[in-house]
Amino acid sequence: MLLRSTSTCNAVMEAGKKYNSPVMIQVSNGGGSYFAGKSTKDPNAAAAGAVSMALHVRQMAPYYGIPVVLHSDHCAKKLLPWFDGMLEADEAYFKQYGEPLYSSHMLDLSEEPDEENIAICVKYFERLVKMKIWLEMEIGITGGEEDGVNNEDVDPEKLYTTPEQVWSVYEALSKIGDMFSIAAAFGNVHGVYKPGNVTLQPERLGKHQAFAKEKLGTDEEKPIFLVMHGGSGSTDEEIATAVKNGVVKMNIDTDTQWAYWDGLRAFEADKHDYLQGQIGNPTGADKPNKKFYDPRVWLRKAEESMVERCEVSIEKLSAKDSYPAKVPEAGTAPIYNFKPVNPVATAATQGMNAIKGAMHKVGL
């Protein structure tokens, strides 16, 4: 799920807890900027916002008792400074805690020539493997519009990746590590469109697997991890076929955006007469309306609606009841999970305090 606020992050974790499923929380460049505050124009704001989201999720995930994968989504070539900022944060976090801040990152260089796309992915993957960070890359174009990259008028043939393209990626990245996945285009489009306007062909993914199997000389039927973008609005059959052919991750954004709004829309429609002023409603001209316009009330309605929509995707991807939530006993989850910034300096401080204590005992 692509998320843009602590509210939506909490809703997805709540869905994972409620339906006993791992979840993946994703941030886009635009989502990172939103986390930082839309008025913040600093060039590092998107990276700082992405770090903020990750820290929030890491802080609260233990309270939900389910595995949470932190992922950054589409990063076009023009957005590489954002990727660099997140990777710098990963390395700093890894140095201190022994694990990266993010679990996974995506490079989307599908607008670039294949050779350049793969070469840049190789360069970054060499850094990611040192921290056991998963790399998702895209080859072939996803239609529609996402984070300022507009492919609404792209040549339809470019919406279908070939087996040879997928193999070129696998051949290059597998020499470095095995923690990578490929978003191969099969007619995918960001957003929701009228039936018939988008022609998804998930059966093409099976051809990628067969081609790789032959090249590798393996008995494994699906040797490549594949990703489905533009999952919103897809039919159950299309999703099932994609999963059958090796899709291990499906992006949902537009549908969850609508669900979040729909919860708020329904609340406003139901309580309209209580939301026209701070004082005065059908129960009396002097009655206060705070309990209706308090953001915590209507945001909660949005969250509840989003949780319900998450269940749909969790079920379609066969994840429901796959991981019984292990919610900590009340009062046992950590209030904070960070460590001293510099353990060496802390040890030195403790040493100085010990010396001062000894000096105090002898009257110095």
Q: Which amino acid appears at position 259 of this protein?
A: A
CA distance 134 to 78: 21
**Measured distance CA(118)–CA(161) in Å, rounded:** 14
Tell me which of 42, 73, 84, 321 is the catalytic residue.
73
Report the C-alpha gap between 122 and 312 in whole angstroms.
Answer: 36
8 Å CB contact between 265 and 227: no
d(CA 276, CA 225): 52
273 part of the active site? no
Closest CA to 22 of 35, 13, 11, 32: 13
Catalytic residues: 73
